[in-house]
Structure formats: C-alpha cells, structure tokens
Amino acid sequence: MSTKNKKAVTTGIRYSDAQKKEIVDYVIQYNSSKGRGGQSAASKKFKVTPLTISAWIKSSGNKAKAAPKAKPAKAPKSASQSKKGVRYTPEQKQEVVDFVTAYNASNGRGGQSQAAKKFNLSVLTVSSWLKGAGKKGGKAVVKAVKAVKSASPSGLTSKIASLIEVGDQLRKAESETEKLRAKYDALRASIQALI
C-alpha cells in the first residue's frame, strides 16, 4: 500500500451568467479602448484562465476585438511572390537577356542576380530565359558584342565574344553529358537487375 497522500481533486468554480457577461463585457470594452489584450487583463483581474474567457466570448457571439482600424500598407512582396502569373513578351525577355549578357561582359559575372533585382524577377526565371536564348542561335551573343564594342578596345571585344561562344558550347556539352549519364545509369541498373 502506498504511503503517499493522493492529491485532492478540486472542483472548478461555477460562474453565474451575470459574472460571465461582466467579464466578457470587460474584455470587449478593454479591446475597444486599447486595441487588444483584453483577455489577458480580464484573466489577471478576475482570476479566470484566458482559455475559459475565450470560451465565454465565443459562446456569447462576440468577437471581443477592437473597432476595425485602417489596415496598414502591405509590405512589399519578395521578387518571387510579386510576379506570379505574369506573362512576359519575347521583347521583355530579350531585354533581360541582353542586360545579363552586357553586365557579364563588362563585369565578368553576376548578371543574373543583378537582372533579377533590376527587373524584379526570380533568379530561376532569368536563368530559364538565358537558356532559352542560347537555344535560339546566339542573338544574345551578337547583341553583347555590339554592346561591348562601344565600351572596350577591339581586342577585348573579340575575346569576350569568344568567351561567350565557348560558354554556350560548354552548356550544350554539359547538357549532352547529362543525357549520356542518365542513359548510362539506366543501362547499368538494368544489367545489375539481371545479375
């Protein structure tokens, strides 16, 4: 037999409807004058848990919220959220691609992130447009060379154009390598399944 005393079960206090109404009215009045915090204040003042007060408010049909105030201006959305569902024309896409190409030609790299900031786009969107422009036959390369010619010596222009062309060739080769790697892995897996 246990020697420990069992805790006495306390029964809750029964509040009358008038007491409940008084507390709910206090919360509503507090919230309308101060905006919020009525449940916490009522909990401290009347020694009733906030959960109980919340239940009383719900059962009374009142929301116990402050009078509606003017909504604050919404915070600006991030680049990835602000342009959802927007369709861009080929000219707009080409403008972004040209910006990236010119930026990379003069600074070496960083054009994608700068274009994303300038045009309020996601970096992934800019990247996909660059890949799409590379498949169209190098319009971006021609425009980049024209943009660089006016700002740099002739030897540098040809080197930048060569660099861009080699970059395009690398991207195509990497794409082919990925396809071959997938084919290789599939064949290898089928052989291992037979063994």
- 126-154: per-residue pLDDT in tens? 888 888 887 443 445 555 555 555 555 66
Angstrom distance (rounded) from CA 91 to CA 112: 17
Domain boundaries defined on the chain? 17-60, 87-194
12 against 39, higher pLDDT: 39
* Exposed/middle/buried for residue 111 (C-beta within 10 Å: 0-12, 13-18, 19+): buried
Model confidence pTM above 0.95: no
